């Protein structure tokens, strides 16, 4: 049975469209141009930061975030950046008595922003806070520990077959792949997707799928 559900953040519960638009504005390039480069980077299986190095070869994320903050253009997100189905899904899973958490690759400032959203979750873990990032096995070891120690009872939900599904499966977890955002629509790894317990297009579907799975498992 599923006893805990952990969610990736960007592209899963958080719509990153405004974030990438902000980076395009910061670099002084058309937004559609940055989107086109991002798509090419994703299709080639490269780190998303290679998108930014196209426009600034010496790009370093921490340094650039500091520059943006100094210029009064800090990267941030709020309630309006959550996908419309995110809060309701988290609430429904909590109402089923499940342990619900967030665990994603996020910069230092993001953890405070996530807490400020007051989401119905039991824990929030970030790569910065944990000192390890996806797809490292050590990141998913932290997810397992945070979720109670039994990997087989944890469902990890994400939009990326490479950073989310594959390493979570290798860690012994059950997985759900959501098809949205640039990675969900561009990065196609059928052999990885086939290993998912669920594949969905909206988080609205997830609580019912989990409830039915647990009801079947309990028989």
Q: What pLDDT score was predicted for residue 14? A: 97
How far apart are alpha carbons 171 and 127 in whole angstroms? 17
Percent of the chain residues topping a pLDDT of 70: 100
Find all residues with CB under 8 Å of 174, minimum gap 6, and list them: 2, 152, 154, 155, 156, 197
Q: Taking every pair of C-alpha atoms in the chain, what is the biggest distance, in angstroms?
A: 59
Average pLDDT over residues 104-128: 93
Asked whether the beta carbons of 208 and 2 are under 8 A apart, the reply is no
Q: Which CATH class is domain 4-15+78-217?
A: alpha beta
- In b/e form, how buried is each residue of 11-46, taking b as 16+ CB within 10 angstroms? bbbbbbeeebebbbebbeeeeeebbebbeebbeeee
Task: Work out the mean pLDDT of the chain and round it to a whole number.
Answer: 95
Residues 3-17: pLDDT tens digits?
999 999 999 999 999
Q: How far is CA 143 from CA 5, 86, 126, 129, 146, in A?
A: 10, 20, 10, 13, 5
Find the angle CA(127)-CA(102)-CA(123) to the nearest 5 degrees.
100
What is the strand order of the sheet 154-158 is part of? 123-126, 99-104, 4-7, 154-158, 174-178, 198-200
What is the per-residue DSSP string for 190-212? HHHHTT-SEEES-GGGHHHHHHH
Q: Is the dihedral of CA 111, 115, 116, 121 positive or negative?
A: positive
Residue count of the chain, please give it: 219
Asked whether the beta carbons of 42 and 182 are under 8 A apart, the reply is yes
Backbone angles phi, psi at 10, to 5 degrees: -65, 125
Find all residues with CB under 8 Å of 117, minimum gap 6, and list them: 78, 79, 82
Quick one: pLDDT band at residue 109, thresholds 50, 70, 90? confident
Quick one: pLDDT band at residue 219, thresholds 50, 70, 90? confident
pLDDT value at 35 more than 90: yes
Of 13, 31, 12, 32, the C-alpha closest to 23 is: 31
Say what the pTM is. Answer: 0.94
Give Cα 22 to chain centroid, integer Å: 19
Q: What pLDDT score was predicted for residue 188? A: 87
pLDDT value at 75 more than 90: no
Q: What pLDDT score was predicted for residue 152? A: 97
Find all residues with CB under 8 Å of 141, minimum gap 6, and list them: 171
Q: Where are the domains of the chain?
A: 4-15+78-217, 17-70
């Amino acid at each position: 049975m599923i006893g805990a559900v952990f969610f990736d953040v960007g592209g899963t519960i958080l719509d990153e469209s405004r974030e990438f638009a902000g980076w395009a504005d910061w670099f002084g390039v058309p937004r559609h141009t940055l989107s086109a480069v991002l798509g090419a980077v994703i299709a080639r299986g490269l780190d998303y930061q290679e998108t930014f190095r196209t426009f600034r070869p010496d790009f370093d994320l921490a340094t650039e975030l500091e520059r943006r903050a100094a210029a009064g253009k800090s990267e941030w997100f709020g309630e309006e950046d959550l996908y419309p189905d995110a809060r309701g899904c988290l609430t429904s899973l909590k109402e089923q008595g499940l342990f619900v958490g967030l665990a994603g690759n996020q910069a230092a400032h993001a953890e405070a922003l996530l807490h400020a959203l007051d989401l119905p979750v039991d824990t929030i873990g970030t790569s910065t806070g944990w000192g390890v990032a996806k797809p490292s096995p050590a990141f998913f070891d932290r997810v397992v520990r945070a979720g109670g120690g039994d990997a087989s009872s944890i469902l990890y939900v994400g939009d990326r077959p490479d950073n989310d599904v594959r390493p979570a499966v290798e860690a012994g977890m059950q997985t759900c792949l959501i098809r949205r955002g640039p990675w969900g629509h561009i990065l196609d790894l059928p052999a990885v997707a086939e290993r998912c317990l669920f594949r969905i297009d909206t988080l609205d579907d997830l609580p019912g799928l989990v409830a039915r799975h647990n009801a079947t498992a309990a028989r």
